[in-house]
Amino acid sequence: MSGGLYGLGLGRGDPELLTLKAHRLLASCEVVAYPTLEDGESFARSIVSDYLQDWQREIAIRIPMTVERGPAQAAYDRASRELSDCLDSGHQVAVL
């Protein structure tokens, strides 16, 4: 069985302006992934933080902010493997 992958746009960054569909999908997904800086700060997560549930697994995609492309590509490669494992396990995944 395979899961589903949903890309959720967060609009202008105001949590109250999240679309109803994005809110519904976010509330129904077992896994929520989002980009974050290496120090752990994530603007995307901060937008939806009030809507996240305790039972949801969060995957922080830590992106190094360097001029070199290699470290960021390695972070994306790691994230794609982790998300692929979630999907292969039948989970619904929201990527912010």
Q: What is the pLDDT of residues 13-45, one digit of tens each?
A: 999 999 999 999 999 999 999 999 988 789 999
| Residue linked to tokens 């190094």 | 64
Q: How far apart are the first and last CA of the chain?
A: 24
β-bridge partners, 73: none
The pTM of this model reads: 0.91
pLDDT of amino acid 3: 92
**Residue-wise pLDDT tens digits, 39-84:** 878 999 999 999 999 999 999 999 998 899 999 999 999 999 999 9
Angle at Cα 90 formed by Cα 86 and Cα 94, nearest 5°? 55
**Residue 18: what residue type?**
L
Answer yes or no: are the C-beta atoms of 23 and 51 closer than 8 Å. yes
CATH topology of domain 4-94: Cobalt-precorrin-4 Transmethylase; domain 1 (3.40.1010)
Domain boundary assignment for the chain: 4-94
Percent pLDDT > 70 in the chain is: 99
| Residue linked to tokens 């492309």 | 69
